[in-house]
Amino acid sequence: MWKHDEVLLPCTLSWKDLSYTARSKKAILHDVSGRCGPGEFLAILGPSGSGKTTLLDLLADRISSGKTTGTIALNGQPREPRSFRAVASYVAQDDTLLGSFTVLETLQFAARLSLPSTVSRAERDARLQHVIDAMGLRSCVHTLVGDLFRKGLSGGQKRRLSIAMELLKQPRVLLLDEPTSGLDSATTLNVVRCIAGLCRDDRCTVICTIHQPSARVFQLFDNVLLLAQGRAMYRGSPQAIVAHFGPLGYECPEHTSPAEYYLRIVNTDFHCHADIDALADAVATTNLHDQLLLEATASAPWSVAPQRPSPVAQILVFLDRNLLNTLRNPGIFWVRLVMYSLLSAMAGTMYLHPTPGPAHDASLVALLFGVPAFCIFMSVAALPFFLEQRAVFARERANWGVNVLSFVVANFAVALPALFVIALCSTTLVVPAAGLGGFGVYFGAFYLGLVVAESVVHVLGAAVGHAIGGIALGAGLFGQFMLCQGYLLARESIPTYWRWCHALAFHSYVFQVLMHNEFADRSPSILAEFNLEDVNIGRSMGVLAAYALVLQVAFGLVLYFVHTGRR
């Protein structure tokens, strides 16, 4: 274990008569009790739907809905959420990682976000090297995580990386949800061995859920808790499980894995061979309740305050990471830059040798409508990549308590220069070629339109859980705004019941500015045709800027209230 100045507090997590009923009134857990102490590795087993993940989430304080009864204690005292978060880490079943970074970079960013500024750089580096070795990541330390565009880590390596990130803050309690899900048998054995070694060497309290361990994996656990229908069927060491079930009439056949056999007989989805009530009663007669009561009486109250980097320090980390991710992930910036530039170049070159007259002016109006509207419409293409970043942030907030405002500020600050470059390239390609006037005004309106569209994508990404649903919603919203922005029908010709959409559509303000910029001096009659004579460019630009800021506030509020890490 690495050297450090503070003494790490050993933690015993215990729970007594824990029951949980979901909002749907379905009872998930029934009077489950258990404990796990320092240096112990407890596995929660059970068929699908037995309540494994629900129990783990209750222990991790990740469920806020439904009805919970019973007690959860840390070192014999009622678990206090702030103190618990300071000493505990949680590894979810899904690996939420950014594919643009190497293993080392991922851990470096994790260390900067999870460790307080009181930890020196030398100590931080020592922790990095320790978890790299502990999780067997030395051979792939410079390998990219990988994404849609690049091949990267294997499933087992991603699992170990997810665990390594949570080990950086030296948790005294480590909770893992299905750490071997989707892995082959050899990789599963290696991952569980790594966790068991960590538990033994660092005296960490480790609890995991696991679906169906092999015989070799089963023997790596110190204790197991077998669940069925939300009730405890067995609680004890893997070596004693056969001796427990044998007198009850469930002798494990020779040459059969005990874990596989007893999971099969308590599985109520198919033909259940066990008397669930009798097995639950047999577990309830053990002396664990007396042991938990003795621990609660002997332990003294204690409290630990969580430590984390300051909000300003977090902003700097998010700025660094988001900027690198934007430059490295082709889908966030480069694909959009090429796509928008090609569209603008094609649109501009279509107007290279114009014949002045009303027909040309009408075609310019179509250009001023089409290029910004379609570029804004295509902003939804960035949503899947933003959802990836949001998932990582949600994990970091739940596990490390990172600041929502820091993420929002950094995310917006990185988006602004990226959109600036995209807008500048597009404007440069379309304005001179099409013979448009007022380069600066065109660029300003187009840039602000893209900023507002990006902010809409941020809000959608925070509010919608699935990329397809978010893209469909965003495309529908932008399409509706295009219809009502004032090109297909002049503002005064839009039916009264759709005027609200015209006012709400930020496309309207972009179109107003571009039209006034192009025709105010040379063809005011065109402005009159579209009811745009009284446009104030500065005011419309201000509305766009305010629109973007309001959406960013909404983005932050949705993140704060929705993505809490609890369900």
pLDDT band of 177, cuts 50, 70, 90: very high
What's the average model confidence in pLDDT over 25-40? Answer: 92
Residues 438, 441, 442, CA angle at the centre, nearest 5°?
Answer: 80
Q: CA dihedral in degrees (200, 206, 209, 212; nearest 10)? A: 10
pLDDT digits (tens, 9 = 90+) for 380-406: 999 999 999 999 999 999 988 899 999
Band of the pLDDT at 443, cuts 50, 70, 90?
very high
Strand partners of residue 19? 69
Q: What is the pLDDT of residue 7?
A: 47
How far is 305 from 35, CA to CA, in rounded Å? 23
- Please give the pLDDT value at position 145: 96
- 227 burial via Cβ count (<10 Å: 0-12, 13-18, 19+): buried
Q: Cα Rg for the chain, rounded, in angstroms? A: 30
Delineate the domains of the chain, giving CATH numbers in brackets: 13-298 (3.40.50.300), 318-562 (no CATH)
173: Cβ contacts below 8 Å, ≥ 6 apart: 11, 13, 74, 84, 87, 88, 89, 204, 205, 206, 207
Cβ count within 10 A of residue 461: 26
pLDDT, mean over the chain: 90
pLDDT at residue 459 in the model: 97
pTM: 0.90
Separation CA 308–CA 35 (nearest Å): 28
For the chain, give the percent of residues with pLDDT over 70: 94
State the helix-helix crossing angle for 439-463 and 358-377, rounded to 10 degrees. Answer: 30
Residue 10 has pLDDT above 90, yes or no: no
> SS3 for 461?
helix
Residue 2 clears pLDDT 50, i.e. is over it: no
Max Cα distance, the chain (Å)? 99
Looking at residue 428, its pLDDT comes to 97
Residues 139-148: what's their mean pLDDT? 93
| Mean pLDDT score, 234-261 | 90
Q: What is the 3-state secondary structure (H, E, C) of 57-92?
A: HHHCCCCCCCEEEEEEEECCEECCHHHHHHHEEEEC
